[in-house]
């Protein structure tokens, strides 16, 4: 058959010099595609005599195979070249030593908040949030603190400015995270298990009080939740948080309008030699307020108190941070003094988790 040699050299040369995969594909179609030159030649076999066909057939097949394998080889070579190019441009030296710049640190309040969340997540609690500028209703009324209730005075509330003649109740900077109880149950109903960390505000300032501080609220509502569950939960938390096995808690009868019964909770500690130790000694330090959620609070949130019950508690985040990490003055937390931040701050890589450790 005529012209096979020239076909062969034409295609093998073009394949060898194809610049990329799409040029290669064009060549494949032109040679061995359905209407390619080699395929068209194959069709001529039918018109030949058997003797002619015996020579031309194998020759054509050989040509087709040769072109196909040249195509495959070139395709692989092009792929390798593309990969080499990527490896060259995306190269990084992973053996370079790290350059710790340590320009910033995680504030102890953020770190402790993450620790609290990790521990309660492990107990099946999710995180809820509410606004810091709160209505009088959510901060007080819905929590069974009527306008003339004496406990309102204890909150040293910051009131938002109101225009002259505006007689609507003023908004406040929330004095505690308890309003999140109402907001959460209104929106998501019960049963529920949440913690609500965040900023709260009271007009107070000394070594252990700042006008802005951090609390987290705990709320657990179900059909048969009791004070015993509350105590277990708080002990479990304290053991994990303070990393002390012998933690001991004491419930002291107290009063909050939104819980009944109410208890303040103290933790056993010693101050021997000016050093605070938890889980030993004869001193007790208050760390939180708690109780069984008052039926009126459940009602205010649209929950039937004949069917549902549960506990709530509020804990100072800054306060437990001071206890755990030995920081003596709360005011320093919010001074933005770089030396303090570098000393007490945490590395951004120290994410607290239950399996990796939460002791910072
Ligand atoms: N809200 C209370 C406080 O700030 C704490 C608390 C929360 C008490 C929930 C009981 C139940 O002092």
Same domain, 112 and 11: no
Handedness of CA 109, 113, 119, 120 (dihedral sign): positive
Among 188, 179, 221, 193, smallest CA distance to 126 is for 193
User: Quick one: average pLDDT of 104-129?
Assistant: 96
Would you say residue 100 lies in a domain?
no
CATH number of the domain where residue 279 is located: 3.30.930.10
Cβ neighbours for 219, distance < 8 A, ≥ 6 positions apart: 180, 181, 184, 185, 192, 193, 194, 195, 196, 293, 310, 311, 312
- Share of residues in the chain with pLDDT > 90 (%): 56
Q: How far is the CA of 357 from the centre of ligand 1 (A)?
A: 28
What dihedral angle (degrees, nearest 10) is formed by the CA atoms of 182, 183, 185, 187?
150
Among the ranges given (38-42, 99-103, 113-117), the one the predictor scored with the smallest mean pLDDT: 99-103
pLDDT score, position 114:
96
Is a pLDDT exceeding 50 seen at residue 325? yes
Expressed as residue numbers, the domain containing 186 is 108-347
Q: Given a cut of 70, is residue 358 above it in pLDDT?
A: no
Atom of ligand 1 nearest to the CA of 288: 5
Q: Whose structure tokens read 């309102």? A: 152
Pocket test for ligand 1, best of 218, 258, 296 (most atoms within 8 A of CB): 258
Is 221 found in the same domain as 188?
Answer: yes
Higher pLDDT, 183 or 45: 183
Nearest to 44 by CA among 34, 31, 57, 63: 57
* Whole-number pLDDT of residue 336: 92
Q: Are residues 175 and 27 in the same domain?
A: no
Mutate which of 145, 176, 182, 263 for ligand 1 pocket (most atoms within 8 A of beta carbon): 176
In a domain, 359, yes or no: no
Number of domains making up the chain: 2
Residues in contact with ligand 1 (CB, 6 Å cut-off): 176, 178, 256, 259, 289-291, 312-314
119 shares its domain with 85: no
Name the pLDDT band for 315 (thresholds 50, 70, 90): very high
Domain boundary among 29, 56, 89: 89
Residues 70 and 137 in one domain: no
Q: How far is ligand 1, taken at its centre, from the CA of residue 178, in Å?
A: 6
Residue 93 Cα, ligand 1 centroid: separation in angstroms? 54
Task: Please tell me the least confidently modeled range out of 48-57, 177-186, 261-270.
Answer: 48-57
Residue 212 maps to a domain: yes
Which run of H or of E encompasses 222?
Answer: strand 212-222
Any domain includes 94: no
**Global model pTM greater than 0.85:** no
Q: Are residues 194 and 234 in the same domain?
A: yes
C-beta separation of 201 from 175 below 8 A: yes
Domain boundary among 89, 123, 155: 89
Same-domain check for residues 257 and 144:
yes
Cis-peptide into 155, omega within 30 deg: no
Q: Coil, strand, or helix at residue 286? A: strand
Condensed to tens digits (0 to 9), the pLDDT of residues 150-169 reads 777 777 899 999 889 998 88
Please tell me the distance between residue 169's alpha carbon and the centre of ligand 1 in angstroms: 22
One domain for residues 152 and 265: yes
Examine the domain organization and report whether 112 and 85 are in the same domain: no
Q: Mean pLDDT, to the nearest integer, of 198-202?
A: 97
Kindly give the distance from the C-alpha atom of residue 132 to the centroid of ligand 1, in angstroms, as a whole number: 16
Residue 42 lies in a domain: yes
Please state whether beta strands 283-293 and 249-256 pair in parallel, antiparallel, or not at all (unpaired).
unpaired
**Percent helix, percent strand, percent coil in the chain, to nearest 5:** 45, 20, 35
Whether residue 51 is found in the same domain as residue 197: no
Domain identity same for 276 and 328: yes
Q: Which of 55-64, 223-232, 299-308, 313-322 is least confident?
A: 55-64
Q: For residue 271, is it within any domain? A: yes
> Do 131 and 223 reside in the same domain of the chain?
yes
Q: What is the pLDDT of residue 329?
A: 86
Last residue of a domain, one of 30, 55, 89: 89
CA–centroid distance, 176 to ligand 1, in Å, is 7
Compute the average pLDDT of residues 231-252.
94
% of the chain with per-residue pLDDT over 70: 98
> Could you tell me which of 203, 194, 177 has the C-alpha nearest to residue 316?
177
Residue 108 pLDDT exceeds 70: yes
pLDDT in tens, 165-186: 998 888 999 999 999 999 999 9
Q: Is 209 left (phi over 0), alpha (psi -120 to 50) or beta?
A: beta
The ligand 1 atom nearest the CA atom of 311: 11
Taking the CA of residue 200 as reference, the ligand 1 atom at the shortest distance is 4
Is 274 inside any structural domain?
yes
The CA distances from residue 301 to 51, 126, 140, 279, 310, in Å, are: 98, 19, 13, 38, 13
Cα within 13 Å of Cα(349), Cβ side: 2
User: 360: pLDDT confidence band, cut at 50, 70 and 90?
Assistant: very low
pLDDT of residue 359: 57
Residue, of 91 and 360, whose pLDDT is higher: 91
- Angle between the N-to-C axes of helices 317-325 and 227-242, in degrees from 0 to 180, rounded to the nearest 10: 40
**DSSP string computed for 197-209:** EEEEE-S--BTTB
Residue 2 has a CB neighbour count (10 Å cut-off) of: 8
Whether 356 is covered by a domain: the verdict is: no
């Amino acid at each position: 058959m005529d012209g096979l040699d020239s076909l062969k050299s034409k295609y093998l040369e073009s394949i060898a010099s194809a610049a990329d995969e799409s040029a290669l594909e064009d060549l494949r179609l032109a040679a061995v595609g359905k209407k390619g030159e080699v395929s068209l030649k194959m069709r001529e076999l039918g018109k030949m005599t058997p003797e002619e066909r015996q020579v031309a057939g194998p020759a054509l097949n050989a040509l087709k195979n040769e072109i196909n394998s040249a195509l495959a080889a070139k395709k692989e070579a092009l792929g390798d070249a593309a990969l080499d190019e990527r490896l060259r441009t995306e190269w990084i030296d992973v053996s370079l030593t790290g350059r710790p710049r340590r320009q910033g640190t995680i504030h102890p309040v953020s770190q402790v908040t993450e620790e609290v969340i990790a521990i309660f997540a492990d107990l099946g609690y999710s995180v809820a949030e509410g606004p810091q500028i709160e209505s009088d209703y959510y901060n007080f009324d819905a929590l069974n603190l009527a306008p003339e209730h004496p406990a309102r005075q204890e909150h040293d509330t910051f009131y938002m400015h109101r225009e002259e003649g505006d007689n609507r109740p003023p908004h406040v900077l929330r004095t505690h995270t308890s309003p999140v109880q109402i907001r959460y149950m209104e929106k998501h109903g019960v049963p529920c298990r949440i913690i609500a960390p965040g900023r709260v505000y009271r007009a107070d300032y000394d070594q252990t009080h700042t006008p802005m501080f951090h609390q987290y609220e705990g709320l657990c509502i179900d059909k048969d939740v009791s004070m015993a569950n509350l105590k277990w939960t708080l002990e479990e938390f304290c053991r994990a948080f303070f990393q002390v096995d012998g933690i001991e808690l004491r419930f002291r009868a107290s009063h909050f309008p939104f819980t009944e019964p109410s208890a303040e909770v103290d933790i056993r500690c010693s101050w021997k030699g000016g050093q605070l130790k938890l889980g030993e000694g004869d001193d007790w330090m208050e760390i939180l307020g708690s109780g069984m959620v008052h039926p009126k609070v459940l009602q205010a949130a649209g929950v039937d108190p004949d069917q549902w019950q549960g506990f709530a508690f509020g804990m100072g985040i800054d306060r437990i941070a001071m206890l755990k990490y030995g920081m003596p003055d709360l005011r320093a937390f919010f001074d933005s003094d770089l030396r303090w931040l570098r000393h007490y701050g945490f590395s951004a890589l120290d994410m607290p988790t239950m399996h990796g450790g939460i002791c910072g």
